[in-house]
A and B are shown apart, each in its own frame.
Chain A
Amino acid sequence: MSNEVKSRISELAFKAIDGDLLPAESQELSGYIASSEFLAEYYSACIKMHLSILEAEASHRLSPTADVSAFDRNLWQTMALHERTAPGIKLESRVAPRELIRKVEYAKTPSHVNKVSLAVALFSAAAMVFLIIFTQLARFSTGQEVVTLADTLNASWADTDVSTSQGARLAVSSKPLFLREGMAEVLFDNGARVVFEAPAEFQILAEDRIGLRHGRIYATVPRQAVGFSIYTHNAKVIDLGTEFGVEVDSRGDTTLHVLKGETRLIAGRESDKLSIEVDHGTAKKVAGSTQRITDIPCDMNLFVRDIDSHVGVAWRGENISLGSLVAGLDGFQEVNSLVGLNPVSGEFVTSVEKLWRRSDTTYRTIPDSRFVDGVFVPDGKAGAIQIASSGITFDCPDTLGVFTHDIAVYRGPVGSQKTTIPPVVINGKEVVHDPILMLHSNIGITFDLQALRDCLPSNRKPQYFQATAATIQEYNPDMEFWVLVDGQLRYERKIETEDCDRGPISFQVDLGPEDRFLTLIVTDGPSGSHANDFFYLIKPELSLADSDSR
């Protein structure tokens, strides 16, 4: 095949792609391809190169369009020189074009199904597949809107001529967007949801693709958007059905943390480029300087996964700490020093000392707490007692009606706190790293789950209550622990001396979307002794789940 023919076929291929073929040129190209497998192969190579560059360029380039005037001078001087010195191209006698007008016959498939209903039935599936198939073909031209700015939280953007108000539509663009402060959540038309945390600079590259220059983003990708990708300067992450976070830091390192499902990570230098699957619970780093891929710990709470500006919440995947709620905090803030809650007055205190007190069973609400509904001293001698502000009651057993310690929550060595609470020891070591909620008989506390749900992102709900329960074996405690949801018993444990031999016990109580009140009660046992009834809940939490989870 001569160079002249190659040049001609290339030129015709360019023209065909641009829609600039003259009728005679169409016939000419068709003739080349029909007459020779070699020419057809060369033309195919031109097409393949075109499509491949298109796709690679879309993912590769993250910088704005270059200045044409500077380009112009250099390139066209070079080209002008080439034009003056290159030999003329003479086309050899062309192959006679084949007759194009001929009867086209194709197999007719008998239709057993109504075509309209079939098309309708398959359209939704085809639409889904269509979106998946073209994730890597940059067919959406610059300017096509493919993303909605769903929510922002204290967001501040760099100067941009793009609307960044909530609900704004964002288009495929070569211009980066810079989130200077706060957070922003965008929703792609294919259902993928991405949360950006400032400072972050990024581009919408396609209807299913983001280019991240630097910063931190978290993607939640539903099934119909599988193939959603994030490109950085040294890596590409392709979703295979997952939730994952990507960060590009100031050193140019790209880190990928996969929290659900699996992704494909493509990175590395030319000589050792890798394409690896990264599963949930694992994380990788691509070094900015060396392109090396290394394992790193997967940080489940590094990325903001959800924001809700209506309630002012940015959620990083943590569970709600009951200890934090008892301390009057929001459930995510950590308890760093001891806080007590008086079950009679409902007041917060900063020290918890042993003091005998008798009380009636009056239910007391906590005005200073949004999420603790109330507290009480349980005693069933007078009948069922109120355990929630809505009036729910519970038939608890008879008790002495006295208590010695306020409800306490703390973290760290108990010896450094203002308290006479003895330390909880497991395997010879005091528990110091996890928050501890201490309930001494006779005490009850109720949490308002609905108030919590009202303050969480709309798709994150408490799914279950979990904790590790422990007592002090040497003290020979005799007590009972109850967990109720809306007055219904969900978990019960009688702690007698023999039980202590079992050591700490972890448990879990499921919660439904309509459950309102979670009540924890500790009562003294039938022995009548309660001085040593220290009951510890280690790391008591409400686990949050995605109510739309796959």
Chain B
Amino acid sequence: MEKKSTIGGIENPEYREFLKILQANKRRIFGFIFACVPHYSTAEDIMQDTIIRLWSKFSTYTPGTNFAAWGISYAKYIILEHQRKDCNIRLQFDSDALDNLVKPFENDKDMDTRVEALQVCLDKLPEIQKQLVQMRYADKLTVKEIALKVGRPVHGLYKALMKIQGSLQQCIEGALKRWDMA
């Protein structure tokens, strides 16, 4: 029988357990969805559908097993459903591509600590790189918009952002090693 939550379903201990596990794995599941559909509002819609589906199927989840992997398996089908319904989604991966995207997310144990490490690593960026990060990730400008704003070629910005990501990746790896999590 499919589970249903009640209004104020937090009172349900099983629902509370579901939320707890979901909270611990949400970055992995959403990361997979966003990798497949790198468009925020669509990825969020898919995530919401995925959560509903996961809750309805929670009785089939085996406690102690990889929840992210379990959740991603449902997310994959929901992504395919969305792609079927919305042909305007520009980037549509076939099932082979989706399969190749599963492993990098379902087993990534560092996604949570990566964010924490980044908060320190962002501080270490040179000022001008910080400003580019700010425009891209805080002000949420597209690369083209940044290029127009600063009057520089788009391609050069791609290279600059890649370089920043490379620096941050090195910093994160160093931090994770120091935290004995690498």
Contact = CB atoms under 8 A, between A and B. Distances in A.
B75 interface: no
A18 interface: yes
Contact of A82 (B4, B130, B151, B156): B156
A303 B42 CA distance: 41
Contact of B90 (A26, A53, A68, A98): A26
A100 B158 contact: no
B158 A11 contact: yes
Interface in A180-211: none
B182 to A, nearest CB: 14
A52 B111 contact: yes
Interface string A57-69: 1111100011010
A371 B151 CA distance: 70
B142 to A, nearest CB: 4
Nearest to A66: B131
Contacts of A48: 31, 104-105, 108, 111, 114
Interface string A32-57: 01101100110111111101111111
B62 interface: no
Interface residues of A, number: 90
A133 B95 CA distance: 26
A interface majority secondary structure:
helix
Contacts of A20: 142-144
Given A82-B156, A133-B22, A270-B178, A118 B91 contact: no
B140 interface: yes
Most buried by B among A30, A48, A54, A130: A48
Nearest to B16: A223
Given A37-B100, A57-B137, A129 B122 contact: no
A118 B5 CA distance: 10
21 contacts: A10-B161, A10-B165, A11-B155, A16-B38, A19-B142, A30-B92, A30-B97, A34-B96, A44-B35, A48-B31, A56-B115, A56-B116, A65-B138, A68-B150, A74-B128, A75-B150, A76-B151, A79-B159, A121-B4, A125-B15, A132-B19
Interface of B: 2, 4-10, 15, 19, 22-23, 26-27, 30-31, 34-35, 38-40, 44, 47-48, 51-52, 55-56, 77, 80-81, 83-84, 90-97, 100-101, 103-105, 108, 111, 114-120, 122-123, 127-128, 130-135, 137-140, 142-144, 149-153, 155-162, 165, 168-169, 175, 178-179
